[in-house]
Amino acid sequence: MRKVWLIFAQSATVAMAVLFVVATFKPQWLQGVTWRPALPDATVSVVAQGASAPGRLVSGQIHSSGYADAARTAAPTVVSVITSTSPARNQRGDQWFRYFFGDQQGQAQSGVGSGVIVSPEGYILTNNHVIDHMDDIEVMLVDGRKTQAKVIGTDPETDLAVLKIDLDRLPTITFGNSDNLLVGDAVLAIGNPFGVGQTVTAGIVSALGRNQLGISTFENFIQTDAAINPGNSGGALVDAQGNLVGINSAIYSRSGGSLGIGFAIPVSVARQVMESLIKEGQVTRGWIGVEPRDLTPEIAETFNLPIREGVLITGVLHNGPAALAGIRPGDVVTQVASAPVNNTSQLLNTVAALPPGKPAAVKVQRGNQAMTLSVVVAKRPKATVQPQIRSQEE
């Protein structure tokens, strides 16, 4: 038995030595050897720089899949929105217009933005500022088709607009769930930056619920570091599966280019606005007629308040819903219709969601006294100026 084992060990050693010599000096002899059969188009694992990543076998070569599938799914639904105005439209005598933009009488204006096809009927979501004050709106698809677009409705207070085009065989995006997003989730931004053509950039969700940015009245932005540049406005922010989770709207920049801080409107908000604009041509929101301000620790201490969270009411519209219900300047609103409100943004969004014409219970703190008042909610007046240049009012 010992002799047999010795022969086996010597044979294995010689075989390993021969294999080593052949692999070193004649590696081409081993290239035709198939060590393990593989199925065509099989999914394999690709290891790069010590980190594992998904990959696929294509035409005998291994490629990392990355987010190609998500981009391939969503990209055809993102369109370029090309806008222009006639020269007569710019012949304005507004001194503020001339102060900021110079004397542009007789000059036509044009711009390029993006949009997302959301239904086979041709409805497109985009930003209000992309098409605001524009006479001519043209949409260009990825496949090269161009057509004129009709404005179905706009909502300056969320900076959203809905367009419609009449074409067949339209690709449509799948709605995702922005409420399930977490900081760190991978996202792609798709649009037409600087008019160079459709571009896909990748990043992560950097923050959620950004507000008080002065971009629009109702703010609940997704912040991302996926590169967003001028021309991306109205484009799609999609998840790793290619589902729509936001409408790209703005960037923080000192140079006009991306600095890694971009903002998108959550699809949950965009979808509600879109459905209202399609059905009614406008967005109906609740309103109670107060001027709010965040309650700071300094203000709470000055007024000797027993609470530290809520929204201070600094003004009440005469004969408005809040005034008729007994709300006074100096009151601190802590809850509206069973929903707690800790800042101005929460108060604006909560009241806006209330149906006009129906009463809502509003809890307020007045000095050391807590009370609940019934406010009959009114319809929010239509904005007469851009939200970016006016103070928040509710």
Catalytic residue among 233, 249, 258, 345: 233
Residues 160 and 274: beta-carbon distance below 8 Å: yes
Catalytic residue among 114, 129, 239, 258: 129
* CB count in 10 Å sphere of residue 162: 27
Query: Long-range contact list for 349-357, CB < 8 A, 24+ apart?
Result: 349/218, 349/220, 351/285, 351/286, 351/287, 351/288, 351/377, 351/394, 352/218, 352/285, 352/286, 352/287, 352/380, 352/394, 353/285, 353/286, 354/286, 355/286, 356/284, 356/285, 356/286, 356/287, 356/380
Residues 264 and 222: beta-carbon distance below 8 Å: yes
Tell which residue, 163, 181, 379, has the closest CA to residue 268. 181
Rounded to whole angstroms, how far apart are CA atoms 333 and 78? 42
Rounded to whole angstroms, how far apart are CA atoms 322 and 288? 5
Our answer to whether residue 133 is catalytic in this structure is no
The string of DSSP letters for 330-369 reads T-EEEEETTEE--SHHHHHHHHHTSPTTSEEEEEEEETTE
Dihedral-angle region of residue 73 (phi above 0 means left; psi in -120 to 50 means alpha; beta otherwise): alpha
Rounded to whole angstroms, how far apart are CA atoms 255 and 128? 23
The string of DSSP letters for 1-47 reads -HHHHHHHHHHHHHHHHHHHHHHHH-GGGGTT--SS---TT---EEE
Apex 88 CA angle, 85 and 90, nearest 5: 65
Count of residues making up the chain: 394
DSSP annotation of 228: -
Apex 362 CA angle, 357 and 364, nearest 5: 150
Catalytic residue among 155, 159, 225, 239: 159
Our answer to whether residue 391 is catalytic in this structure is no
Our answer to whether residue 185 is catalytic in this structure is no
Query: What positions carry a catalytic annotation?
Result: 129, 159, 233
